[in-house]
Each structure stands twice: as structure tokens, then as C-alpha cells.
Amino acid sequence: MRPAVMIDVMTLTASPERSTTGPYAVEVVSAVKRFGDVTAVDGLSLSIRPGEVVALLGPNGAGKTSTVDMMLGLSRPDTGTVSVYGRRPRDAVELGLVSAVMQTGGLLKDYTVGETVRLTAALFGRGRGDVEKVIDRAGLGEVRGRLVGKCSGGQQQRLRFAMALLPDPELLILDEPTTGMDVGSRHAFWSAIRDDARAGRTVIFATHYLEEADAYADRVVFMRRGQVVADGTAAQVKALASGRTVRATLPGASREELAALPGADQVEVRGDTVLVQASDADAVARHLLTRTAAHDLEITSHNLEQAFLTLTSDDTGGDGTTTGDPR
């Protein structure tokens, strides 16, 4: 993990010049980032549209933090480009277009939650109305009088989230924001983020928690060794890594006919039951239900954890395969 980054050096007051240009919130083109002999980011290209909630997933050392750092202007690619709302990342940060919520740092334990938000707001020239709004959005109303040092890890993260909202950023970047939180705190944290994102804010978060990516991201970008190995909705990524199985009852089924269906990879007929491993399970299911007498149809998919293991293990080739990109 990176050292903590104070939110108050990451964001400045929004200015009238903070217009956005270009179709992408973030555009990374062939970015390479090296640290000595280590290539942390290896020719990564990634375009994120405004309003998307994107999870960056990958094993330790995959290059997630290095990628996020470049998006925040904390470091620059050795080759390739990274732009945020059509601007240099540093400029976008300085204009208040981007805020970050990091895992640690940036909080003074002897202030209350309310005082912390008020002080930060004053620093950025924000008024009382903004303070109330972000406290409310972060779900901190009940603990506003509590000392930060007495808050749980989850409450402290929601406080960082509230502070990050003060410039009303277009893009919120979170680097492993829920590490160490219990399940209930993680849920409360993500509910606050998700509710806020509904208003159209772009959110990019790096995480190790597969279920968080599955539950809260519109789009999941799997990284491995500094490259994107899969990119799509959680469902698409799961299907890419493991396919789905369509199971139905179909007396007299022909294995050959089913195997010839577009989207069918492997077919097994066991008595009246057919099992079709499919890269396009929807197409196979549609065919079975509309063109045959199949009934009792079920589609099962592997979970994101299995997809993750498949996509990030060393024997898969991890060759930059991409799935149906939602763009």
C-alpha cells in the first residue's frame, strides 16, 4: 500500500474553470510505470466514462495503486498518457474535479466528526450548507459530536468520504477503502458511496474484496502484472472466466444439435437432462425455450472469486483478454 495521502492536499476549492472536456472521465493510454527493475504498470489502456462505478481488482502487486496514483497525479507514467476529464491529472485534482479517499491518514483524533468536516470546509471556502450536506451523505449525522479517535474504522472512512465530497468532485477515487472493516461497516460505507454515485458521480475503487466489486461496481477491471486481463460487468467477467452452465429437461435431446448452437461450448446429455457449458448462456437458453420443448431451465454461473483465480493465476496466460466492455 502507498503511504497515506491527506485529503486536504488532494483537493482545492472548486473554481469556475473546472469545466470538463472529452468523452472520458479517465483515459489511460498505453501507460507504463517502472520502479527500477519492476514494471508496475505495463502498457495499460483504460477508458472510463462519466458516471461509471468501476472496481480495479487484482492480486497484491498487480499495479492497482500505481494506476490510481497516476490518475491522481501523484506520479506520472514513464511512457503513455493519463488524462482526467481531458486534463492532466494534477490539474484536474487542483480544480476540485477529483477527490480521493485513502485507507489511512489525514484525520486528527482530538476533533469531533463535525469539527473535522467544518474545519476542512473552511479550508476550502465551503459553507455550513455544504457541511450539513456531506455529513448527511456520508451517514454521519448520529456521530457528528463524537471524537474522531473514538470512531470505528468504518466511521473514520465515512468521515474521509465526507471530506472528499466537499469540493463536490466529478470523480471519486478510493484505494482499498474498506481494508480492516467488519462486514457491517463495509456495507454502511458502500451504501453511502453507492447512494452518492446515483447522482452521477464517477467512482473508481481499488479493492481486494471480490464481493465488493460484485455488489457495488457497474464495471470490473481485473489487473494482473500491470495489465488488464478482463474488463466488463461482474457478470461478464464471471462468464468470461468460467462460462455458465445451462441445465434443462429435454427428452430426446440431440447432443450434436445442441453443440452446434452459437454460444455453446460443451454439451452433456444425461437421460432427459441436458447440460450446456456456454460462453453465451442467454442465447442457448433462448433457443432451448423458444425452439425446443425444454423446460425447468436453470442457468448457473461461477462466482467472481473463481473468475478471479482463473484470470489471475499464472497458467491462464493472462494475455489481455477483454470481455464485453459495457461502453
Q: Which residues contribute to the site for ligand ATP (CB under 6 A)? A: 1, 35, 38, 40, 58, 60-66
Least CB distance to ligand ATP at residue 72 (A): 13
Rounded distance, CA 310 to CA 314, Å? 9
Separation CA 55–CA 213 (nearest Å): 6
Cα(131)–Cα(120) distance, rounded to whole angstroms?
9
Three-state secondary structure string covering 198-242 = CCCCEEEEEECCHHHHHHHCCEEEEEECCEEEEEECHHHHHHHHH
Min dist. Cβ of residue 32 to ligand ATP (A): 12
Please say which residue, 70 or 281, places its beta carbon nearer to ligand ATP. 70
Minimum distance, C-beta of residue 26 to ligand ATP, in the bound complex (Å): 16
* Nearest distance, CB of residue 184 and ligand ATP, angstroms: 24
Nearer to ligand ATP, 58 or 96 (CB): 58
| Smallest distance from ligand ATP to CB 39, Å | 8
Residue placing its CB nearer to ligand ATP in the complex, 43 or 61: 61
- The answer to whether the beta carbons of residues 191 and 299 sit under 8 Å apart is no
Instruction: Measure the CA angle with vertex 70, ends 65 and 75; round to 5°.
Output: 100
For ligand ATP, give the closer residue by CB, 160 or 247: 160
Distance in Å, CB of 231 to ligand ATP, minimum: 16
Q: What residues does 232 pair with on adjacent strands?
A: 220
Q: 62 or 278: whose CB is closer to ligand ATP?
A: 62
Pick between residue 41 and residue 98 the one whose CB is nearest to ligand ATP.
Answer: 41
Pairing type for strands 244-249 and 295-301 reads antiparallel
Could you tell me the three cell numbers for 50?
462519466
CB 83 within 8 A of CB 27: yes
**Minimum distance from residue 35 beta carbon to ligand ATP (Å):** 3
Residue 18 or 33: the one with the smaller Cβ distance to ligand ATP is 33
Give the bridge partners for 269, in sequence order. Answer: 274
If we measure between CA atoms, which residue out of 148, 153, 90, 157 comes closest to residue 119? Answer: 148
- Beta-carbon contacts of residue 96 (< 8 Å; ≥ 6 apart): 11, 12, 13, 14, 15, 18, 167, 168, 169
